[in-house]
């Protein structure tokens, strides 16, 4: 039996499928990953230096302008065939959980419900001081010129500066999201791991947890990211091509 056939068999037998996605799936919708070189005026900045509480404290206008620019990138992107195929798993009549490291809303726009966001959401800001979520006016969401410095809006409750509602380097994952993700990893029969690098901790532990609990891992990536453990299957290629094909064959049986 070849790898694709093994993957289809595992999916058809599964009572609970967990889908775990990383930057690779969003990259196919045109959203750059942190490993992609920035363009234009942002090219002189290191994304990892902008993704910290320290950077926000020292340069709030720079970080807020960067995030408004990134937010506009996300809103211009569209779900690709892999996102749409993942959403179809909800119609199969078995338990499924979508867990993502991505801070965009492409899974939701594709139709997936109850997505577990390990790293928060770019579209939902929160207060830097009191941590309450906030909503922005259309004027506050106006797209800045690339590289523009923008003063962050203020929290309506405590007057603290608003920050993006994402997990920055050095911050803990949201406790509720991490608990839901680990529970899904330990209870699923199959984990479909798509576009993940396997190096961002602690999220990269989820396939390990699933394997330890006896699940089959189906990796979909442009490079081989296997942990070289039993019950791992590797499909190399574009998610937008492989995932719809995999789901089509699964549903055809």
119 is catalytic: yes
Decide: helix, strand or coil at residue 107.
Answer: helix
Strands of 216-221's sheet in order across = 116-117, 95-100, 16-21, 190-194, 216-221, 232-236
Distance CA 250, CA 253 (A): 6
Catalytic residue among 83, 107, 119, 219: 119
Phi-psi region of 200 (alpha: psi -120 to 50; beta: other; left: phi over 0): beta
Distances 167 to 10, 32, 200 between C-alpha atoms, Å:
33, 17, 12
- Nearest CA-CA partner of 52 in 165, 171, 139, 200: 171
Rounded to 5 degrees, φ, ψ at 165 are -85, 50
- Nearest CA-CA partner of 49 in 12, 40, 58, 232: 58
Give the number of residues written for the chain. 253
**DSSP assignment string, 20-86:** EE-HHHHHTTTPPPTTSPP-GGGGGS-HHHHSSHHHHHH-HHHHHHHHHHHHHHHHH----HHHHHH
Catalytic residues: 119
């Amino acid at each position: 039996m070849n790898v694709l056939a093994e993957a289809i068999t595992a999916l058809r037998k599964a009572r609970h499928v967990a889908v775990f996605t990383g930057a690779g799936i969003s990259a196919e919708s045109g959203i750059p990953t942190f490993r992609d070189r920035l363009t234009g005026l942002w090219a002189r900045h290191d994304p990892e230096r902008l993704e910290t509480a320290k950077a926000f404290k020292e340069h709030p206008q720079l970080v807020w302008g960067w995030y408004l620019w990134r937010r506009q990138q996300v809103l211009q992107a569209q779900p690709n065939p892999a996102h749409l195929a993942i959403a179809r798993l909800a119609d199969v009549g078995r338990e499924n959980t979508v867990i993502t490291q991505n801070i965009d809303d492409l899974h939701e726009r594709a139709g997936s419900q109850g997505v577990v966001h390990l790293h928060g959401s770019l579209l939902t800001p929160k207060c830097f001081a009191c941590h309450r979520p906030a909503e922005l006016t259309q004027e506050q969401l106006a797209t800045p010129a690339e590289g523009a410095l923008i003063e962050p809006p203020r929290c309506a409750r405590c007057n603290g500066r608003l920050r993006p509602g994402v997990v920055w380097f050095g911050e803990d994952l949201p406790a509720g999201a991490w608990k839901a993700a680990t529970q899904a990893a330990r209870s699923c029969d199959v984990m479909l791991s798509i576009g993940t690098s396997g190096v961002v901790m602690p999220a990269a532990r989820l396939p390990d947890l699933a394997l330890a609990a006896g699940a089959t891992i189906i990796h979909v990536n442009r490079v081989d990211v296997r942990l070289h453990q039993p019950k791992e299957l590797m499909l190399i290629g574009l998610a937008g091509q492989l995932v719809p094909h995999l789901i089509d064959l699964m549903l055809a049986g």
